[in-house]
């Protein structure tokens, strides 16, 4: 068997395994977005709903990790967008591995919503004084 007859390793991958990999990527992006919300927006939302106590105060303590959350969210979202928008090579689909492709529209929508959450959480720390003390 020659090198030209061998299929690349990624073309031989099980389609269900590739779907799990894509969903894991999306899940990491969503977790990064939720981590960005945990220190700034979530305590304010909980207080608005009437939840008070030590729990809300502890969430505010997560602010010191804000930049770590931003780095994690940025890295996972960048990887997710790369996987969502890169074209699938025709030779990968020739072996039948594209028979059950993941719905990329759903994947892209989830990633865009996660990106919006991260951007809102990032801007919130600068907008909060203006929004909370308008006069």
Q: State pLDDT tens for residues 81-119.
A: 888 887 776 776 676 666 555 677 888 898 899 899 888
49-71 as b/e: b if 16+ CB within 10 A: eeeeeeeeeebeebeeebeebbe
Residue located via tokens 């025709």: 90
Residue 4 belongs to a domain: no
Highest averaged pLDDT of the listed ranges 44-53, 56-65, 71-80, 84-93: 71-80
Residue 5 belongs to a domain: no
Residue 75 CB partners (closer than 8 Å, separation 6+): 32
Q: What is the pTM of this model?
A: 0.67
More confident residue, 13 or 134: 134
Residue 94 belongs to a domain: no
- Count CB-CB contacts under 10 A for residue 133: 7
Determine the Cα–Cα distance for residues 4 and 7; give it in Å rounded to an integer: 8
In this model, does residue 52 exceed pLDDT 70? yes
In this model, does residue 46 exceed pLDDT 70? yes
101 within 8 A of 23, measured Cβ to Cβ: no
11 within 8 A of 91, measured Cβ to Cβ: yes
Number of domains in the chain: 1
Residue 16 CB partners (closer than 8 Å, separation 6+): 100
User: Mean pLDDT over residues 70-80, rounded?
Assistant: 88
Domain that holds residue 73: 14-87+100-132
Residue 34 belongs to a domain: yes
More confident residue, 90 or 65: 65
């Amino acid at each position: 068997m020659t090198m030209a007859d061998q299929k690349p390793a990624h073309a031989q991958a099980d389609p269900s395994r590739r779907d799990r990999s894509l969903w894991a990527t999306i899940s990491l992006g969503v977790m990064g977005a939720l981590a960005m919300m945990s220190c700034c927006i979530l305590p304010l939302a909980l207080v608005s709903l009437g939840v008070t106590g030590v729990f809300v105060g502890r969430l505010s303590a997560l602010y010191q990790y804000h930049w770590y959350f931003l780095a994690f969210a940025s890295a996972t979202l960048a990887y997710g967008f790369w996987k969502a928008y890169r074209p699938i090579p025709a030779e990968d689909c020739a072996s039948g591995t594209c028979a059950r492709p993941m719905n990329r529209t759903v994947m892209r929508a989830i990633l865009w919503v996660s990106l919006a959450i991260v951007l809102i959480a990032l801007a919130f720390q600068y907008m909060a004084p203006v929004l909370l003390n308008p006069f």
